[in-house]
Amino acid sequence: MFALAHLSDPHLSPMPRPKLRELMGKRAVGYFNWRTNRGVHHSVDHLSTLVADMKERGFDHLAVTGDLVNLGLPDEYGLAKRFLESLGTGDRVSMVPGNHDAYVRGTALLHIDMWKDYIAGDEPAQKSGITGAAFPYLRRRGNLAIIGLSTAIPTAPFLATGKLGKTQLLAFEHMLKTMKEENRFRVVLIHHPPAGRHSPHEVLTDANAFRAIVARQGAELVLHGHKHKAMMQKIAGPEADVNVIGVPSASNPGSNPDRGGAYNIYRVGGKAGDWTCQLESYGFAPGGSSIAKLRNVKLI
Q: Domain residues of the chain, as ranges?
A: 2-13+22-298
Determine whether 82 is exposed, middle or buried from the number of CB atoms within 10 Å of its CB (0-12, 13-18, 19+). exposed
CATH number of 2-13+22-298: 3.60.21.10
Of the listed ranges 21-35, 47-61, 186-200, the least confidently predicted one is 21-35
How far is the CA of 219 from the CAs of 46, 213, 214, 244, 275, in angstroms? Answer: 33, 10, 6, 10, 12
Under a CB-based contact definition with an 8 Å cutoff, are residues 115 and 150 in contact? no
Task: Provide the pLDDT confidence category of residue 131 given band limits of 50, 70 and 90.
Answer: very low
Residues 183-206, mean pLDDT to the nearest whole number: 96
Whole-number Å distance between alpha carbons of 6 and 180: 22
How far is the CA of 91 from the CAs of 62, 85, 141, in angstroms? Answer: 10, 11, 9
Sequence-distant (6+) residues with CB within 8 A of 83 are 10, 12, 68
Of the listed ranges 35-44, 127-136, 175-184, the least confidently predicted one is 127-136
- Per the prediction, the chain carries an average pLDDT of 92
Whole-number Å distance between alpha carbons of 244 and 230: 11
Whole-number Å distance between alpha carbons of 150 and 52: 27
How far is the CA of 105 from the CAs of 26, 169, 229, 240, 255, in angstroms? Answer: 10, 22, 28, 40, 35
Task: Provide the pLDDT confidence category of residue 124 given band limits of 50, 70 and 90.
Answer: low
Task: Provide the pLDDT confidence category of residue 39 given band limits of 50, 70 and 90.
Answer: low
Indicate the pTM of the whole model.
0.95
Under a CB-based contact definition with an 8 Å cutoff, are residues 234 and 241 in contact? yes
Of the listed ranges 29-43, 53-67, 153-167, the least confidently predicted one is 29-43
Whole-number Å distance between alpha carbons of 140 and 168: 19
Of the listed ranges 27-36, 50-59, 137-146, 220-229, the least confidently predicted one is 27-36
CA angle 126, 96, 195 (to 5 degrees): 110
